[in-house]
């Protein structure tokens, strides 16, 4: 998956799972959309399904500092590259 | 320090309606909320009882995603009744979030629907990584899910009590909330209970031969508390929420006062966990009367627990007869909607409040031929006008837990 494809998938997850439509790629999701730690855990599960992989504890913990859509796309791109 | 405790908001979701007008109309017209048991593709094929007290009136939930995401069906019921009760009470967010208000709310076992989904994943052969188990499934299913979804939705920061004692869950919620205010620990409490549609509970009572099975083709004819031809309880669903406040605070803000809680008792049979116990019930009633500083003659109406089991109704009738004689009118409100489990104490308290404020009593539905062993108490034969100044609400649970609440029409 290239970056655009990942972005499309992530936005679809946000629309369906979190009812957040087309968020600004650089806005703070917590401040703008009440996206919280419970949502982050839910998102990690969706990312595992998206990449058909199991994330390590360290990989999951590294996601906890993510705040924006662009950061999520970077995170998923790195995970995908590491598994390529 | 002892303070008077009043009710300033109440709301219920029941098999016979979700608002005062509909519920009263169904009570006075003798309409039952018992319907055929819906298939769940798992247990219903094995259950002999094919009836259920079902919430049928649609509910338009307007919850934000922030609140919805930790709710299973039972929390939806709980939060909706809490929302309506708080709105009716007219409490301001600043007070609700001040720490002076708490929540006492429970259910029989959280959300069985969500729990069943988790177990389905455990035993699934197609989801080895258990990815179907959501991050919030525990929050949706845990036993105190109703109480804390309510505190989250309204920002309640006071004490949390989440009773889970089966059929006395919400009568305990009201009683413990009453005590918290009476003794000055909180100024207000949101109290109640909820239970969702659940066939596991039906299966449990069915296995104990306690469920009604003879009226599967005519659901509206069961349960039949105190009736000669009763054959067991009917499991139901629903929720009830009440706002309790210290009288002084309620009067200060000009709240509309629906009634007053004047006494509560909670005792245990001290023995068998299932068998009804007349002495245990009688002790609980006497303890409640003492708490409310009442003599039996002062009680006008009793909402009996009256599940329509063969022995339970007899034990309750005899205990009532021993203490009250034929003084108060006694109605088994479960006859209209089945046994709503963890919510029954709150729902029956709210329905009693409705009757009290309307000045009417209703008969026990389906009571056509009084069992002679239950005949020593006064069963209303028809809907009739009757002022209810003081009422008792009785509830008993597996585990030998008994509660008795006393409420009074508000007098300044």
A59: CATH: 1.10.1200.10
pLDDT at B409 > cutoff 90: yes
**What total of structural domains would you count in chain A?**
1
Confidence band (pLDDT; 50, 70, 90) for B125? confident
Confidence band (pLDDT; 50, 70, 90) for B133? confident
Cβ contacts (< 8 Å) between A34 and chain B: which residues? 65-66
Q: Which residue has the tokens 């590259």?
A: A81
**Measured between alpha carbons, how far is residue B365 from residues A77, A81, B346 in Å?**
65, 69, 20
Mean pLDDT estimate for chain B: 96
Helix (H, G, I), strand (E, B) or coil at B52: strand
Domain containing residue B375: 5-408
Task: Note whether B411 contacts A: Cβ–Cβ < 8 A.
Answer: no
- pLDDT value, residue B1: 79
Which of A42, A48, A49 is opposite residue B134, by nearest beta carbon? A42
**With helix as H, strand as E and coil as C, how does B120-159 read?**
HHHCCCCCCCCCCCCCCHHHHHCCCHHHHHHHHHHCCCCC
- pLDDT value, residue B132: 73
Confidence band (pLDDT; 50, 70, 90) for B121? confident
Query: The domain spanning residue B138 has which CATH number?
Result: 3.40.47.10
pLDDT at A1 > cutoff 90: no
Cβ contacts (< 8 Å) between B70 and chain A: which residues? 38
Task: Note whether B382 contacts A: Cβ–Cβ < 8 A.
Answer: no
Tens digits of per-residue pLDDT, B191-205?
Answer: 999 999 999 999 999
For B233-266, give the DSSP string.
B-BB-EEEEEEEEEHHHHHHTTPPP-EEEEEEEE
Nearest CA in chain B to A44: B135
pLDDT at B134 > cutoff 90: no
For β-strands B259-268 and B401-408, DSSP reports them as antiparallel
**What total of structural domains would you count in chain B?**
1
ipTM: 0.84
Closest CA to B84 of B146, B8, B156, B141: B8
Cα(B304)–Cα(B320) distance, integer angstroms: 9
CA neighbours within 13 Å on the CB side: how many for B43? 18
Tens digits of per-residue pLDDT, B207-217?
Answer: 999 999 999 99
Domain containing residue A54: 3-82
Task: Report the 10 Å Cβ neighbour count for B65.
Answer: 14
Helix (H) or strand (E) segment spanning residue B104: strand B101-106
Q: What is the mean pLDDT of residues B143-169?
A: 98
Nearest CA in chain A to B138: A38
Which of A38, A49, A54 is opposite residue B136, by nearest beta carbon? A38
Query: Under an 8 A CB cutoff, do B135 and A42 touch?
Result: yes
């Amino acid at each position: 998956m290239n970056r655009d494809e990942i972005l499309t998938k992530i936005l679809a997850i946000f629309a369906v799972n979190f009812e957040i439509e087309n968020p600004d790629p650089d806005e703070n999701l917590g401040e703008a959309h009440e996206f919280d730690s419970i949502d982050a855990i839910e998102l990690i599960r969706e990312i595992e399904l998206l990449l058909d992989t199991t994330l390590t504890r360290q990989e999951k913990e590294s996601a906890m500092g993510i705040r924006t859509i662009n950061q999520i796309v970077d995170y998923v791109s790195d995970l995908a590259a590491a598994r390529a | 320090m002892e303070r008077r405790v009043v009710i300033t908001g109440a709301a219920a979701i029941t098999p016979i309606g979700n608002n005062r007008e509909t519920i009263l109309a169904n009570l006075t017209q003798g309409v039952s909320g018992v319907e055929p048991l819906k298939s769940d593709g798992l247990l219903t094929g094995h259950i002999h009882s094919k009836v259920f007290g079902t919430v049928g009136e649609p509910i338009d939930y307007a919850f934000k995603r922030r609140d919805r995401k930790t709710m299973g069906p039972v929390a939806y019921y709980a939060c909706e009744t809490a929302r309506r009760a708080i709105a009716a009470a007219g409490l301001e967010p600043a007070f609700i979030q001040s720490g002076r208000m708490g929540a006492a709310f429970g259910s029989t076992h959280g959300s069985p629907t969500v729990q069943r989904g988790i177990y389905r994943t455990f035993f699934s052969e197609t989801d080895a990584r258990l990815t179907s188990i959501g991050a919030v499934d525990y929050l949706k299913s845990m036993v105190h899910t109703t109480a804390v979804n309510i505190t989250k939705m309204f920002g309640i920061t006071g004490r949390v009590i989440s009773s889970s004692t089966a059929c006395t869950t919400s009568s305990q919620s009201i009683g413990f909330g009453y005590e918290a205010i009476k003794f000055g620990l909180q100024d207000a409490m949101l109290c109640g209970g909820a239970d969702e549609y659940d066939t596991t509970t039906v299966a449990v009572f069915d296995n104990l031969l306690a469920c009604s099975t003879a009226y599967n083709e005519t659901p509206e004819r069961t349960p039949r508390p105190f009736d000669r031809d009763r054959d067991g309880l009917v499991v139901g669903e629903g929720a009830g929420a009440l706002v309790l406040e210290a009288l002084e605070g309620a009067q200060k803000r000009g709240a509309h006062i629906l009634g007053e809680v004047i006494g509560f008792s909670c005792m245990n049979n001290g023995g068998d966990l299932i068998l009804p116990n007349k002495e245990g019930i009688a002790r609980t009633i006497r303890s409640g009367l003492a708490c409310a500083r009442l003599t039996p003659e002062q009680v006008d109406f009793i909402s009996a627990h009256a599940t329509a089991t063969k022995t339970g109704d007899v034990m309750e009738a005899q205990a009532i007869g021993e203490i009250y004689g034929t003084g108060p009118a006694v109605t088994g409100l479960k006859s209209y909607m089945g046994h709503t489990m963890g919510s029954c104490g709150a729902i029956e308290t709210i329905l009693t409040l409705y009757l009290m404020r309307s000045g009417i009593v209703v008969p026990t539905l389906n009571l056509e031929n009084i069992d002679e062993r239950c005949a020593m108490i006064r069963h209303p034969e028809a809907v009739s006008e009757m002022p209810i100044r003081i009422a008792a609400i009785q509830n008993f649970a597996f585990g030998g837990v008994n509660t008795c609440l006393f409420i009074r029409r508000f007098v300044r």
